């Protein structure tokens, strides 16, 4: 099988890149390890050997199949701030080799693709009455931002691009083809072909001029490690970055909000709507506060925890069912929803009169804080001598939380307590701390279940030289002129943003770049 561009992975980055390249007239081959629907046998390939703290995203945060993790994605889109991409020597975070404006010029195209409203992610929105924005923005330690939330129906990239995937005759999408081998040309040093296997042991060889690994952060790293191992370490000779600097956002609930005025609390912090786009309120630690406290980025939001048996829980379950490819709605769930008409009437009223999502009164409301993990060389991905069902080396993950993360949590909570007290918001909800800032320690954070949020990054990071980075600013692998990586694993840092939007912006930029080679 031959083609112009071979893309490994049919998740968000892989399918988005294929769509962009086809718009430029290129022929594309996509190799996807999973099936069109969930397969336990294929999911077993995600098994990892964990040496330190458990990195939950190794299994729970990965999905092999058409659409990849977009079938489970929460739909939050927000760009990285320029300060998130700048060097922060006070915590040892390097600068991105890409300028923010080089990515942001693709933002409008992404927003149109997902049918999102245009406009800023920072400012409040005039809606007849002032919200909490003017109060929040007065605090010098916090900045207020609003993510844009993709509807459940449009979150799965495989559903969104279904017409392209199934009708474009110049795009081949091969399912159940897990890449297990690479062949380099002795004459040119280019990647010449990849070999893939299915569950029955059948092999497929794909030859192409250009190759892109877009298999998710952990799998993309594993594939590059396998490529290097198969060539006696010559591909990444002198590179100390491959597999290292593995990091994520770490999240934990640090306090509970006990509403004393439920409707004002809901109005102030509930998800708001601008047109048809839902927006989520985030309170982010400013760059000046980070520099003063010598900590990394952090953001907080109000999370609503409800049981699946609640009216809101059933509504959420119904909407999530629309995200899966080929999923069918449970008739019993529809019957249960019919019995909750009074609540859904209130939901409709708040949606169209207040432009807010109406929360469930019996829910628990927590201050959920997510912090950026400082990239650390010792947190890494490597290969085991053990093999998976297809004969490929299993992944070894050595990941742990460190003192720097604890200090960031302390900084955020300390500033938030003062902000809540000084803003007058105590009049609408009492803040019930799980611990005062100075008493936070690693043991307490673990008891509160502080852990990763499935935003893996860093293990094939971007940089300016082949010793300290795996790919350059165009995502091309140092030392292999025709191989690129489209994955969050290339992120040198995470900042405060959920990584999906930045990944898509990088992918569209990569699509433009690859056009120069054909």
User: Taking 60 as the threshold, does the pLDDT of residue 486 lie above it?
Assistant: yes
Give the residue numbers spanning the domain of 31: 1-39+62-114+156-247+457-518
Band the pLDDT of 335: cuts 50, 70, 90: low
Lowest mean pLDDT among 12-21, 135-144, 451-460: 135-144
| Position 100 in a domain | yes
Please report, to the nearest 10 degrees, the dihedral formed by the alpha carbons of residues 389, 390, 391, 395 taken in order. -70
d(CA 110, CA 501) in angstroms, rounded, equals 8
| Position 468 in a domain | yes
d(CA 151, CA 320) in angstroms, rounded, equals 10
Residue 100: CB partners within 8 Å, gap ≥ 6? 79, 80, 82, 85
| Position 183 in a domain | yes
d(CA 77, CA 12) in angstroms, rounded, equals 13
CB atoms within 10 A of CB 484: 24
In whole angstroms, how large is the CA radius of gyration of the chain? Answer: 23
Looking at residue 129, what is its pLDDT?
Answer: 46
Looking at residue 306, what is its pLDDT?
Answer: 75
| Tokens 């600013």, located at residue | 473
Query: Are 26 and 518 in contact, with CB atoms under 8 Å apart?
Result: yes
C-alpha of 82 from chain center: 18
More confident residue, 214 or 349: 214
| Tokens 């943003």, located at residue | 497
d(CA 209, CA 211) in angstroms, rounded, equals 7
DSSP string, 338-397: HTTHHHHHHHHHIIIIISBPPPPTTSEEEEEEEEEPPP-TTSEEEEEEEE-TTSPEEEEE
Query: Are 224 and 390 in contact, with CB atoms under 8 Å apart?
Result: no
Looking at residue 309, what is its pLDDT?
Answer: 62
Band the pLDDT of 313: cuts 50, 70, 90: low
User: Taking 50 as the threshold, does the pLDDT of residue 204 lie above it?
Assistant: yes
Collapse the DSSP code of 95 into the 3-class scheme (helix H, G, I; strand E, B; otherwise coil) and give the result: coil
d(CA 51, CA 58) in angstroms, rounded, equals 13
d(CA 12, CA 23) in angstroms, rounded, equals 17
Looking at residue 465, what is its pLDDT?
Answer: 95
Query: Are 109 and 508 in contact, with CB atoms under 8 Å apart?
Result: yes
| Position 217 in a domain | yes
| Position 141 in a domain | no
More confident residue, 3 or 497: 497
pTM: 0.92
Instruction: Assign residue 3 the CATH number of its domain.
Output: 3.50.50.60
Collapse the DSSP code of 223 into the 3-class scheme (helix H, G, I; strand E, B; otherwise coil) and give the result: helix
User: Mean pLDDT across the stretch 230-256?
Assistant: 96
Query: Are 275 and 399 in contact, with CB atoms under 8 Å apart?
Result: no
User: 391 φ, ψ to 5°?
Assistant: 85, 5
| Position 218 in a domain | yes
Strand partners, 212: 7, 484
| Position 130 in a domain | no
Collapse the DSSP code of 510 into the 3-class scheme (helix H, G, I; strand E, B; otherwise coil) and give the result: helix
Looking at residue 174, what is its pLDDT?
Answer: 94
| Tokens 């920072």, located at residue | 122
Give per-residue pLDDT as tens, 423-468.
889 999 999 999 999 899 999 998 999 999 999 999 999 999 999 9
Looking at residue 338, what is its pLDDT?
Answer: 60
Band the pLDDT of 321: cuts 50, 70, 90: low
d(CA 39, CA 431) in angstroms, rounded, equals 44
Task: Report the sign of the C-alpha dihedral through residues 100, 102, 108, 112, in that order.
Answer: negative
Give per-residue pLDDT as tens, 92-131.
999 999 999 999 999 999 999 999 998 899 865 554 444 5
Domains contained in the chain, number: 1
| Position 197 in a domain | yes
Give per-residue pLDDT as tens, 168-184.
888 999 999 999 999 99
d(CA 59, CA 423) in angstroms, rounded, equals 41
């Amino acid at each position: 099988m031959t083609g112009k561009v071979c893309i490994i992975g049919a998740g968000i980055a892989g399918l988005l890149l294929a769509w962009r390249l086809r718009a430029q007239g290129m022929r594309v081959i996509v190799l996807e390890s999973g099936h069109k629907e969930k397969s336990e046998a294929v999911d077993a390939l995600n098994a990892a050997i964990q040496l330190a703290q458990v990195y939950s995203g190794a299994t729970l945060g990965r999905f092999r199949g058409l659409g990849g993790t977009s079938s489970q994605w929460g739909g939050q889109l927000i760009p990285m701030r320029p300060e998130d991409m700048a060097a922060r020597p006070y915590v040892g975070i390097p600068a991105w080799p890409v300028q923010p404006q080089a990515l942001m010029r693709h933002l409008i195209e992404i927003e149109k693709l997902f049918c999102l409203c245009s406009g800023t992610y920072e400012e409040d929105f005039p809606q007849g009455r002032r919200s909490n924005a003017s109060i929040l923005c007065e605090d010098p330690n916090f900045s207020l931002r609003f993510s844009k939330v993709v509807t459940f129906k449009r979150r799965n990239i495989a559903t969104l691009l279904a017409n392209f995937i199934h009708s474009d005759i110049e795009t081949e999408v091969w399912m159940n083809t897990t890449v297990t081998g690479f062949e380099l040309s002795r004459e040119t040093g280019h990647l010449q072909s990849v070999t893939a296997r299915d569950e029955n042991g059948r092999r497929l060889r794909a030859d192409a001029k250009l190759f892109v690994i877009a298999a998710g952060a952990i799998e993309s790293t594993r594939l590059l490690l396998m490529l290097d191992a198969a060539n006696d370490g010559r591909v990444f000779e002198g590179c100390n970055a491959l597999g290292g600097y593995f990091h994520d956002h770490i999240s934990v609930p640090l306090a509970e909000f006990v509403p004393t005025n439920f409707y004002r609390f809901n109005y102030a912090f509930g998800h708001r709507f601008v047109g048809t786009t839902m927006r989520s309120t985030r309170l982010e630690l400013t760059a000046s506060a980070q520099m003063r406290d010598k900590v990394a980025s952090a953001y907080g939001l109000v999370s609503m925890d409800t049981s699946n048996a609640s009216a809101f829980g059933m509504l959420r379950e119904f909407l999530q069912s629309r995200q899966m490819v080929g999923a069918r709605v449970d008739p019993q769930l529809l019957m249960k929803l019919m019995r909750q008409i009074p609540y859904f009437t209130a939901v409709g009223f708040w949606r169209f009169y207040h432009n807010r999502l109406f929360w469930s009164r019996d829910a628990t409301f927590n201050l959920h804080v997510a912090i950026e993990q400082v990239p650390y060389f010792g947190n890494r991905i490597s290969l085991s001598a053990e093999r998976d069902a297809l004969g490929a080396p299993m992944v070894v993950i050595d990941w742990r939380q460190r003192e720097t993360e604890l200090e960031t949590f302390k900084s955020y909570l300390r500033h938030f307590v003062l902000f809540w007290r000084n803003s007058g918001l105590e009049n609408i909800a009492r803040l019930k701390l799980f611990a005062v800032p100075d008493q936070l320690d690693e043991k307490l954070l673990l008891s509160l279940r502080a852990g990763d949020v499935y935003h893996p990054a860093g293990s094939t990071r971007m940089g300016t030289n082949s010793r300290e980075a795996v790919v350059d600013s165009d995502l091309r692998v140092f030392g292999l002129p025709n191989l690129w990586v489209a994955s969050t694993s290339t992120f040198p840092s995470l900042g405060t943003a959920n990584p999906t939007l930045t990944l898509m912006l990088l992918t569209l930029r990569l699509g433009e770049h690859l056009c120069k080679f054909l």
